[in-house]
Amino acid sequence: MDSSCNKKQRVEEWILPLDNDLKLNVDGSALGKPGPADIGRVLKDGNGKVLCMFSLFIGFQDSNTAELSAIHKAVELCSSVSSCVGRNLVIESDSMIAVSWINGQGIENVNLINLIYDIRSNLKLLGGEVKFRTRSSNQFAEKLAKMGSSKNGDFIEWGDFSS
Is residue 6 situated within a structural domain? no
Q: Residue 96 belongs to a domain with what CATH number? A: 3.30.420.10
CA 155 vs CA 2, 125, 133, 150: distances in Å: 42, 26, 24, 11
Instruction: Say if 2 falls within a structural domain.
Output: no
**Counted domains in the chain:** 1
Q: Would you state the pLDDT for residue 154?
A: 72
Whether 3 is in a domain gets the answer no
- Digit-coded pLDDT (tens) for 152-162: 567 677 776 65
pLDDT score recorded for residue 7: 43
Interior angle at CA 145, CA 140 and CA 151, nearest 5: 115
Q: Are 42 and 22 in contact (CB under 8 A)?
A: no
Assess if residue 5 is contained within a domain.
Answer: no
Range of the domain at 90: 17-158
| pLDDT tens-digit map of 13-33 | 667 777 788 888 888 888 888
Q: What's the pLDDT score for residue 145?
A: 54
State which residues of the chain have pLDDT below 70: 1-14, 135-153, 155, 160-163
Instruction: Report percent pLDDT > 90 for the chain.
Output: 20
